[in-house]
Structure 1
Amino acid sequence: MAASLYLKHFSLTGAPFPVTPDSDAYYTGGTRRATVEAALHVLRNERGIVKIVGEPGTGKTTLCRHIGRALGRQFTVLYTCDPTLAGDQVWFALADAMRLEVSREDPDDAALRVRRRLGQLHDAGRPVVLLLDEAHAMPPETLEQIRLLSQRDVGPETFRIVLLGPEELDHNLALPGMDALRSRIAHSVRLKRLTLSDVSEYLNFKMRASGWAGDPVFAGTGVRAIAKLSGGVPRRINVLADKSLLAAAMARRHTVSARDVAAAAAEVRLSRSGNGPSRWMIGAGAFAAGVIVTALVGTVLVKAGWVPLSSGPQVVAVPAAKGAAAPARPIAMPPQTGAGVLQPQSAGGVLQPLRPATSALPARDPGDLSITTAPAAELAAPRWRQDARPPAPAR
């Protein structure tokens, strides 16, 4: 929405800083160039598993899709971000991805057909590369089954694997029983945060990929402000750059300075503490004020007979009917449930989803929730109801 307001002002053909992964304009400059080239070299010329680790927001999924695009003409690329694959579901998922008709009642037949199809693709010069996003959340049995498929059943030259996940993936691979899989890892990639020079190059690259043909839009002060506030995390850089372009366009300027970045940070309620390593605070002052106001209002409402709805079990006193005795004990009400479930989306281009998304996305790292646009008072305020009042005092 914000991008459409400044596209015309900067004569851009598209949004340069989308929040969702964008493999069409993948940045491979700076310190990222060696990382990408090494991963592609191993997949094209060597055997073994490639492991890609990085904290939330550093571009693991975007890199995954970039790898799929780069290998699409030479390999058959399969992609999944479903951490619930377990047991026989692996065979059915691979069969679906390769468009094989198999019976859901016969996993052994599905496994046989999958192995046969993998061999046919290898003989045709199109070996398979399987990209396992969110691999840290997959059951160890699933990873071991996939390892056996690549090593024993069809061979590593026919079936190649890429594991992607946060640092938790390293921890899981170090657990007992994962020695065989860990020994098959031929190359490990760790996505690091962008340096100050990388941030400057990244901003210019994304702007030119979207049609900008003039001098760099982001001034030195703007680049330094974005680098400091974002901590070098690409996802945060995109949020700040997008809002900064909007601020500059509203002021009818074609250069983004530190004051535009400050306005962007204020809009997303983002700040950086001055002491120690990068520490993100989301509207801390507004949140604290919201808590204080909520406490005061809550006291008034409780005295007036209103009952708060909390996330846990709550006890509501029900007044007795006229002329009847009061109940011996209060009635316990269950907690409110029924939140919607987000479904993972399949990737486009050459990346083929392994199976229809039917499960909830895995829990994300709290560090990935460092930016919010919701008013802090809304985050702090409880919900109230007036349909239950305490019994009148006995006379």
Structure 2
Amino acid sequence: MYEKFYGFTERPFNTTPDSKFFFPSAKHTEALNSMLYAINERRGFVVITGEIGAGKTTVCRTLLNKLNVNTRVALITNSHLTQRELLAVVLEELEIEYKGGSKQKLLSSLNEYLIQQLSYDNNVVLIIDEAQNLTPKVLEEVRMLSNLETEKEKLIQIVLMGQPQLKSKLENPKLEQFKQRIVVYHHIAPLTKEETEQYVRHRLAIANPQTQDTFTPSALEAIYKYSRGIPRLINILCDSALLSGYVFEMRQINVDVIHEVAKERDFHYKPLDIQIPDSI
């Protein structure tokens, strides 16, 4: 709706994950590189955590675009699964034909496929999003998948992505063997104030390379303080502010617009010990 008014080729603050808009902050880049390293070197388990809206899914989409062409990926986004359902979904994602049967038969079908892929010099990756929803029994099943290996390397690389509760769940003594298998653990923290400003400008520049100062400095400061540096919340604030600016024919978004949008969207993220400017 507001794209033409601001000269954008597309909406710069869409909340759906789009690797085109990946912002290479130090935290997100480290998470991405850690996953690429563990996968390419066939190291096994990787765990990535972050708050809701921290950018985990966007990092995942960027990862998929950077993987070697010889990499086969099973991406699971519905993590409310039983042990058998997990194996069945993995087989379906990898397009492995199977005729049902016991859990052991499903595991055998997967193992045959993995050995075949190794002979082709292909790498196989299992990515589970929202992994904090996995039950301890299913997590143990995931660990058992990591037992599929040769003397030198893992047959399947496993990436678990989830909210901070995932790390707490892995502290369960019953999952000690699982925890010992993790070779890379990375937590994606919120953006800093400077990174938030860079993030906003980065997305604006992708939508319109000629754009300049669409948000005033005080507006950017307010965006950070309301969002706490969480990318999804930044996107919600900025998208709503641009829509409001379009309605009122404002070429530049000031802090008053951000205050109004935050109030309308019922934002309750302002730190009590930080003052947000009342106006320009």
TM-score normalized with structure 2 length: 0.89
State the Cα distance separating 1:120 from its structure 2 match. Answer: 1.4
Q: What is the aligned partner in structure 2 of residue 304 from structure 1?
A: none
Distance 1:207 1:112 in 2: 50
Distance 1:134 1:75 in 2: 22
State the Cα distance separating 1:165 from its structure 2 match. Answer: 1.2
Letter in 2 for 1:93: V
Identify which range, 131-140 or 69-78, moves more after superposition. 69-78
Letter in 1 for 2:129: D
Secondary structure, in 3 states, of the residue corresponding to 1:164?
strand
Q: Does 1:160 align with 2:157?
A: yes
Q: Deviations over 1:146-196 (max 9, x none)?
A: 222222456753200111111111111111111111011111111111111
Aligned residue-pair number? 274
Letter in 2 for 1:129: V
CA, structure 1 residues 115+31, in 2 after alignment: closer, same or farther (shift >3 Å)? closer
Q: Deviations over 1:234-286 (max 9, x none)?
A: 111011000111222233332222122122213213255563599xxxxxxxx
Identify which range, 267-276 or 91-100, moves more after superposition. 267-276
Listed as ranges, the matches of 1:204-215 within 5 Å are: 204-215=201-212
Q: Does 1:101 align with 2:101?
A: no
CA contact (8 A) 1:51 1:189 kept: yes
Distance 2:219 2:116 in 1: 54
Letter in 1 for 2:156: F
Distance 2:259 2:274 in 1: 20
CA, structure 1 residues 85+154, in 2 after alignment: closer, same or farther (shift >3 Å)? farther
Q: Does 1:238 align with 2:220?
A: no
Q: What is the aligned partner in structure 2 of residue 59 from structure 1?
A: 55
Distance 2:34 2:186 in 1: 8
Letter in 1 for 2:33: E
Higher relative contact order (CA 8 A, sep 6+): 2
State the Cα distance separating 1:91 from its structure 2 match. Answer: 2.6
Q: Does 1:92 align with 2:96?
A: no
CA, structure 1 residues 74+211, in 2 after alignment: closer, same or farther (shift >3 Å)? farther
Alignment counterpart, residue 75 of structure 1, candidates 71, 76, 99? 71
Listed as ranges, the matches of 1:1-395 within 5 Å are: 4=1, 6-45=2-41, 47-71=43-67, 73-152=69-148, 156-272=153-269, 275-276=272-273
CA, structure 1 residues 146+271, in 2 after alignment: closer, same or farther (shift >3 Å)? closer
Gap regions ≥5 residues in structure 2: 276-280
State the Cα distance separating 1:62 from its structure 2 match. Answer: 2.0
Structure with the greater alpha carbon radius of gyration: 1
Distance 1:235 1:194 in 2: 11
Secondary structure, in 3 states, of the residue corresponding to 2:79?
coil
Distance 2:37 2:93 in 1: 25
Distance 2:206 2:123 in 1: 32
CA contact (8 A) 1:71 1:77 kept: no
Letter in 1 for 2:242: L
Q: Deviations over 1:75-122 (max 9, x none)?
A: 111111222322322332222112222112344333222111111122
* Identity within the alignment, %: 25
Distance 1:146 1:272 in 2: 36
CA contact (8 A) 1:119 1:154 kept: no
State the Cα distance separating 1:230 from its structure 2 match. Answer: 0.7
TM-score normalized with structure 1 length: 0.64
Distance 1:50 1:241 in 2: 33
Higher helix share: 2
Distance 1:80 1:195 in 2: 30
CA, structure 1 residues 109+206, in 2 after alignment: closer, same or farther (shift >3 Å)? same
CA contact (8 A) 2:44 2:146 kept: no
Secondary structure, in 3 states, of the residue corresponding to 2:184?
strand
Distance 1:92 1:260 in 2: 50
CA contact (8 A) 1:54 1:192 kept: yes
Distance 1:264 1:219 in 2: 15
State the Cα distance separating 1:31 from its structure 2 match. Answer: 4.0
CA, structure 1 residues 74+10, in 2 after alignment: closer, same or farther (shift >3 Å)? farther
CA contact (8 A) 1:55 1:166 kept: yes
Q: Deviations over 1:316-371 (max 9, x none)?
A: xxxxxxxxxxxxxxxxxxxxxxxxxxxxxxxxxxxxxxxxxxxxxxxxxxxxxxxx
Distance 2:82 2:269 in 1: 42
